[in-house]
């Protein structure tokens, strides 16, 4: 049975993986070193497990492993329990989704949470489901939001102090984003925190619901008129937690609609990082990376806690590589901006960051206002970089305490983007924008970058033909693991970027690799299964990758005995 202590110690205990991010801070670093730069050439697959299912694609799940059992999600709201020794299926659960689900960016799921006897995950029809870990039978099921309004859940929940913490998706449909905490044993709501300014938060005690303060104090300060009522800002990627400062960190997505001329103002708390009190749901601090976002630069990217030394002092920092092309280092105690720097090669929408980390906008690179066009139907189109799918999208980076580097899966691409008139209608796309993504370079789009957060210096890079869309793992074996859409699991020397191992898994990798130890041996697992937002929204880039085959499976590797 998984306890709070198991989850808090997840990064240090190598015999299991019981949290998304391999530790609640989300560093994706393992102290295991049996597989290292000298031995990794010898690893071999020991089993592969098919996820089946014709509706499934885009296998973004990160496996969890406890007591010799692996728990993974399939993209179409499925869960599998697998014998981690043999690859045999123990049970599977199919959430049986209604026809009307509205995920914006493919049918996807990023993984489960474990607590006590429960395996907990979010579904594309915006429910939380808790299954018995031994049987796969439903213990409880909660409706989080109304999928008919455009809500879904794609992120893995996290467990903090006995509570399940989950965000929601739906920014492209004008939902109101929120973070919620549920009792991890019985699924009762504990608190609810809207991520759009103006909406009331709630807290539940002994079954009684009480008001817990309006997010941002009052409505209408950074939004015109009633637009905050359908403001988006969905925390769709889930969050991290740092026990040191006892704060949850959630990123929030794009303000709705995309057409920024309809909503003058900063549009809090869209495209921001929020620090939330895990006990009460209060917003303790916020940092907005893209105020008045006009490019769909959702600021959901994971905020990873890390410490570093400066002038003999320990700095409690947190790093985040934003979809907008800038990397931010914040003080995680109070949200103060420490430094920021571009990690994308090409950024056209801002010329830099000011001393508070606020972007210095290039006004001519904001797509134009349709109401200023001749017939009012389309504003001036601009060529803007990064493309809206981001210098980095959902795929999680890793931080190694050995090299003190972040390993950032990024993409170099740009877009034509223009605005159109739009109005909110429940359950309909609410963009008011059109776009075509285009490659910048002939030879590559994806770039894995090793970045020093203290200086902003790129230490090494690996360039990939297709856009990178999978997570990264760093280990004490001086290795960095990552998959690519071409299908390869790749291992790099963490210091130099030299490729030490590659293996083709048969379909594109958009999942996040993990490592753990069982019977004295180190294992690596990763999901394979091409999909996600690129084939759907990639424009000219989708053409580049249209020959990649789908097909979901879990691959597991180890050294020969």
Chosen from Ca ion, ligand PQQ, none, partner binding at 257 (C-beta under 5 to 8 Å by type): none
CB of residue 447 to ligand PQQ, shortest distance in Å: 18
Is residue 125 involved in binding ligand PQQ (CB under 6 A)?
A: no
Chosen from Ca ion, ligand PQQ, none, partner binding at 102 (C-beta under 5 to 8 Å by type): none
SS (H, E, C) 367-435: CCCHHHCCCCCCCCCEEECCCCCCCCCCCCCEEECCCCEEEEEEECEEEEEEECCCCCCCCCCCCCEEE
**Catalytic site residue from 266, 296, 298, 493:** 296
**DSSP secondary structure, 70-88, as one string:** EEEEETTTEEEEEETTT--
Chosen from ligand PQQ, Ca ion, none, partner binding at 23 (C-beta under 5 to 8 Å by type): none
Integer Cα distance of 505 and 5 in angstroms: 35
Question: Which among 447, 413, 449, 395 has a CA at the least distance from the CA of 543?
Answer: 413
Q: Which of 389, 431, 479, 494 binds ligand PQQ (CB under 6 A)?
A: 389
Per CB under 6 A, which of residues 277..306 are in contact with ligand PQQ? 296, 298
Integer Cα distance of 124 and 137 in angstroms: 19
Give the CB-nearest residue to ligand PQQ.
171
Integer Cα distance of 347 and 531 in angstroms: 26
Give residues with Cβ within 8 angstroms of 249, minimum separation 6. 239, 240, 241, 242, 273, 274, 275, 276, 302, 303, 305, 318, 332
Q: Which is nearer to ligand PQQ, 70 or 126 (CB)?
A: 126
Q: Which is nearer to ligand PQQ, 336 or 540 (CB)?
A: 540
Chosen from ligand PQQ, Ca ion, none, partner binding at 169 (C-beta under 5 to 8 Å by type): ligand PQQ
Is residue 171 involved in binding ligand PQQ (CB under 6 A)?
A: yes
Per CB under 6 A, which of residues 241..260 are in contact with ligand PQQ? 253-254
Is residue 234 involved in binding ligand PQQ (CB under 6 A)?
A: yes
CB of residue 387 to Ca ion, shortest distance in Å: 13
CB of residue 478 to Ca ion, shortest distance in Å: 36
DSSP structural state of residue 542: H
Sign of torsion, CA 97 102 106 108?
negative
Is residue 320 involved in binding ligand PQQ (CB under 6 A)?
A: no
Is residue 430 involved in binding ligand PQQ (CB under 6 A)?
A: no
Integer Cα distance of 32 and 475 in angstroms: 6
Chosen from ligand PQQ, Ca ion, none, partner binding at 340 (C-beta under 5 to 8 Å by type): none
Question: Which among 158, 282, 296 has a CA at the least distance from the CA of 211?
Answer: 282
CB of residue 182 to ligand PQQ, shortest distance in Å: 19
Q: Which is nearer to ligand PQQ, 18 or 417 (CB)?
A: 417
Integer Cα distance of 447 and 389 in angstroms: 14
CB of residue 169 to ligand PQQ, shortest distance in Å: 3
Site string (526-555) toward ligand PQQ, x via CB under 6 A: ------xx----------------------
Strand bridging mode 208-214 / 350-353: unpaired
Q: Which of 191, 223, 236, 435 binds ligand PQQ (CB under 6 A)?
A: 236
Question: Which alpha helices (H) appear in 240-310, and where do they start and end?
Answer: none
Is residue 394 involved in binding ligand PQQ (CB under 6 A)?
A: yes
What's the residue count for the chain?
A: 561
**DSSP secondary structure, 479-496, as one string:** EEEEE-TTSEEEEEETTT
Residue 234 corresponds to which tokens in the numbers above? 């969905």
Site string (93-112) toward ligand PQQ, x via CB under 6 A: -----------xxx-x----
Please return the burial class of 364, using the count of CB atoms within 10 Å of its CB with bins 0-12, 13-18 and 19+. exposed
Q: Which of 16, 60, 145, 197 binds ligand PQQ (CB under 6 A)?
A: 60
Is residue 154 involved in binding ligand PQQ (CB under 6 A)?
A: yes
Is residue 16 part of the annotated active site? The answer reads: no
Site residues (CB under 6 A) for ligand PQQ?
60, 104-106, 108, 154, 169-172, 234, 236, 253-254, 296, 298, 389, 393-394, 532-533
Catalytic residues: 296
């Amino acid at each position: 049975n998984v306890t709070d202590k198991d989850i808090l110690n997840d990064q240090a205990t190598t015999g299991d993986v019981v949290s998304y991010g391999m530790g609640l801070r989300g560093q994706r670093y393992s102290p295991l070193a049996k597989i290292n730069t000298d031995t990794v050439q010898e690893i071999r697959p020991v089993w592969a497990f098919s996820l089946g299912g014709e509706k499934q694609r885009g296998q973004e799940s990160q496996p969890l492993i406890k007591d010799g059992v692996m728990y993974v999600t399939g993209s179409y709201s499925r869960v599998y329990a697998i014998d981690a020794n043999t690859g045999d299926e123990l049970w599977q659960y199919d959430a049986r989704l209604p026809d009307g689900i509205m995920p914006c960016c493919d049918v996807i799921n990023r993984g489960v949470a474990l607590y006590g006897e429960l395996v907990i995950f979010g579904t594309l029809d915006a429910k939380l489901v808790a299954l018995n870990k031994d049987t796969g039978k439903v213990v409880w099921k909660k409706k989080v939001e109304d999928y008919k309004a455009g809500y879904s859940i794609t992120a893995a929940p996290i467990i903090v102090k006995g509570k399940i913490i989950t965000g929601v998706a739906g920014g492209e449909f004008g939902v109101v984003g929120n973070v919620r905490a549920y009792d991890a044993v019985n699924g009762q709501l504990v608190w609810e925190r809207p991520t759009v300014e103006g909406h009331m938060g709630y807290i539940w005690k002994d079954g009684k619901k009480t008001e817990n303060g309006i997010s941002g104090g009052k409505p209408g300060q950074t939004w015109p008129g009633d637009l905050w009522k359908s403001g988006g800002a969905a925390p769709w990627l889930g969050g991290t937690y740092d026990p040191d400062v006892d704060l949850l960190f959630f990123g929030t997505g794009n303000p709705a609609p995309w057409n920024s001329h309809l909503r003058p103002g900063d549009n809090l708390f869209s495209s921001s990082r929020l620090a939330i009190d895990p006990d009460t749901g209060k917003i303790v601090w916020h940092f907005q990376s893209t105020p008045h976002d006009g490019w769909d630069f959702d600021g959901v990217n994971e905020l990873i806690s890390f410490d570093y030394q400066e002038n003999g002092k320990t700095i409690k920092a947190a790093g985040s590589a934003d979809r907008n092309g800038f990397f931010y280092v914040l003080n995680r105690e109070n949200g103060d901006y420490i430094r920021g720097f571009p990690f994308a090669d090409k950024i056209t929408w801002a010329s830099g960051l000011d001393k508070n980390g606020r972007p210095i906008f290039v006004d001519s690179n904001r797509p134009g206002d349709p109401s200023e066009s001749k017939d009012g139907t389309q504003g001036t189109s601009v060529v803007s970089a990064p493309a809206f799918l981001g210098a980095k999208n959902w795929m999680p980076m890793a931080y190694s305490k050995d090299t003190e580097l972040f390993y950032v899966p990024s993409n170099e691409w740009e877009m034509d983007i223009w605005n159109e008139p739009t109005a909110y209608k429940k359950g309909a796309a609410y963009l008011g924008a059109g776009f075509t993504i285009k490659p910048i370079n002939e030879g590559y789009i994806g770039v894995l970058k090793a970045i020093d957060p203290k200086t902003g210096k790129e230490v090494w890079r690996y360039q990939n033909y297709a856009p990178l869309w999978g997570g990264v793992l760093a280990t004490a074996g001086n290795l960095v693991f990552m998959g690519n859409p071409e299908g390869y699991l790749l291992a790099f020397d963490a210091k130099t970027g030299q490729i030490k191992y590659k293996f083709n898994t048969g379909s594109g990798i958009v999942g996040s690799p993990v490592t753990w130890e069982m019977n004295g041996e180190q294992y690596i697992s990763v999901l394979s299964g091409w999909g996600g937002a690129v084939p759907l929204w990639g424009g000219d880039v989708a053409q580049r990758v249209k020959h990649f085959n789908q097909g979901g499976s879990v691959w597991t590797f180890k050294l020969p005995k």
